[in-house]
Amino acid sequence: MNNLKYLIDELKMNESNSLLISKQETLIEKLCQQELIKEIVSIYQHKNKEFELKEIHIYDNAIVIQNLYFELSKCYHEIKFTKTKNNDGLYVIILYNVQGKEFIIANNEQQMKRIQVLLKRFCINKNFFGKYQLLQRNCLPISQAIKNNSEEHCTQVYEKKLLKDPKEFQIFHNSITIMHTLKYKPGSPKLYEDNQKYYILGEKMKLQSLENLLLNGFDFREIPFVSIIYMILQNLQKYQQRNIYHGNINLSSVFINIENETLEVIILFPRYVENSNYTIENDLYNLGILIYQITFYTTSNRIKQYVDLDLINRIHNQMADQSFKQNQYLFLYRVSQLDLLKQLLSPNITLKRAIKHQWFVTIQQNIRHQQIHKQLNPIFLPTIVEISDSLIISSSLNEGKIANFNHQQSIQDQDPEEYQPIKCQIINTIRMIPSKRKHDEASQYLMKSKTVPNSQVKRASLPEITKQTTVK
């Protein structure tokens, strides 16, 4: 490729630095499990000052060449077509930022287009306000396309001035890589910018945080409450499967799609740092804090910032007495809720134990009891919850797919020690809040018992639940 010296001189390639760095012990090394495409292209070698044929692999948000990589969300891209007397024309792909440039020559137009599609998906796109308008609708901001008002995207907005610290800048790009890897649909998220801000465009959803819902008086009834916690744990399974953590589980990072027919939980704003002592157990601890803040929330519009372990233990002991009735905390329902809370706040909890906790088993029994009465009594209307095959076993973790609620087949011969995630399809009570009369009619059929023996659990539908002391 030495005959390309004219091109090297014209684009001043000798004056640029390479963007490639080692991927050893990085987030990319952990998440690069399945390439999107691989191509043999001519790539400029900054050390040798010439082009060489290399095989490149494009993953979610990264181009990898052997043991080196660079993140596409940090780059702009452009494609130049150059033609001389000696050839029919070359497509030169330029990826660049303030740190350096990479130059790739595509072999033909078809190869260029295959690469271009992915660069448009992962690289920084300019001129956000030339394509979208940003709408505030009492939820996560919505980006609405100017030329097509039906095209809308939930949008995360970041101030560039808050990302000047190199650590915060890398956390931001790590979050983009994680979102791409755990994406719900192809093509999302997508990164735009203007002079002051970055905009991460996701799917068309109307998202409200648990913090916003709590402060605005949403009634966290037990079934939606326990389903939200369970779905958070299911999301954390996906992180643990990839040997990473979320790093930012709290009321303001967990969102509900308030327009979806079924309950949909979205966790945003991950804060992953390479070579950190933070683990998934820290995420579980923070989930415990989240449960505490909802459980002990009062109408004072103030969310508790500190966990009172003495309060938890005192009420736990009181509720062990079946004759005790507490009415101070609206979202505290049973002893097993407090037991899960105590376990999440302890140093010995694991994700496997948490997701098999008795609170989830008890609610499953209650739902089945409720469904029986729905069949026997037509008054029982679907005002609170609908379950597809109750709470059923799915194999989502073994498929490597990220969509929360894909229809998946049960595994018959699975190791009982493997995760057995439950697929919940709960009617979104945030979108479809029933009348008080209907709720009161339904409530009389909903089992409120604080003690349900383990022997009543149907192992055929929920196998190998953790063998533990029964806590209700």
Element (H, E) at 322: none
Q: At what angle do helices 280-295 and 335-344 cross, to 10 degrees?
A: 140
pLDDT given for residue 2 in this prediction: 52
Residue 155 and residue 198: Cα distance in Å, rounded?
10
- What is the sign, positive or negative, of the torsion defined by CA atoms of 424, 427, 428, 433? negative
Distance separating the N- and C-terminal Cα atoms of the chain: 72
Full DSSP string of 377-439: -TT--SSS---TTSSEE--HHHHT---TT---PPPSS--TTS---EE---B-TTTSPPPHHHH
Q: What is the pTM of this model?
A: 0.78
The three-state secondary structure class of 195 is coil
Going by their DSSP bridges, the two strands 254-257 and 265-267 should be labelled as: antiparallel
pLDDT given for residue 448 in this prediction: 35
Do 399 and 408 contact (CB within 8 A), yes or no? yes
For the range 338-343, what are the long-range contacts, defined as Cβ-Cβ under 8 Å and sequence gap of 24 or more?
Answer: 338/295, 338/312, 339/471, 340/229, 340/291, 341/288, 341/291, 341/292, 341/295, 341/312, 342/312, 342/313, 342/316, 343/288
For the range 444-452, what are the long-range contacts, defined as Cβ-Cβ under 8 Å and sequence gap of 24 or more?
Answer: 445/369, 445/370, 445/373, 445/374, 445/377, 445/380, 446/366, 446/369, 446/370, 446/384, 447/365, 447/366, 447/369, 447/370, 450/319, 450/322, 450/334, 450/335, 451/322, 452/362, 452/365
* Residues in Cβ contact with 175 at an 8 Å cutoff, skipping those fewer than 6 apart: 269, 270, 271, 272
* Residues in Cβ contact with 27 at an 8 Å cutoff, skipping those fewer than 6 apart: 174, 177, 178, 244, 272, 274
Reading the chain (472 residues) residue by residue, the pLDDT tens digits are 556 888 899 899 999 999 999 999 899 999 988 899 999 999 999 999 999 999 999 999 999 999 999 999 999 999 999 876 666 778 999 999 999 999 999 989 999 999 999 999 999 999 999 999 999 878 899 999 999 988 999 999 999 999 999 999 999 999 999 999 987 666 679 999 999 999 999 999 999 999 999 999 899 999 999 999 999 999 999 999 999 999 999 999 999 999 888 889 999 999 999 989 999 999 999 999 999 999 999 877 789 989 999 999 999 999 888 778 878 899 999 999 999 999 999 988 999 999 999 999 989 887 876 666 666 655 433 333 333 333 322 323 233 322 332 333 333 333 333 333 334 445 555 554 433 343 344 334 333 333 333 333 332 332 232 233 333 4
Going by their DSSP bridges, the two strands 152-159 and 142-145 should be labelled as: antiparallel
Q: How many CB atoms lie within 10 A of CB 263?
A: 23
Residue indicated by tokens 């929360």? 404
Residue 33 and residue 37: Cα distance in Å, rounded?
12
DSSP state of 262: B
Output Rg (C-alpha) for the chain, integer angstroms. Answer: 26
Going by their DSSP bridges, the two strands 190-193 and 265-267 should be labelled as: unpaired
Give the E-state strand segments of 98-249 in sequence order: 100-106, 132-135, 142-145, 152-159, 190-193, 197-201, 207-209
Do 145 and 138 contact (CB within 8 A), yes or no? no
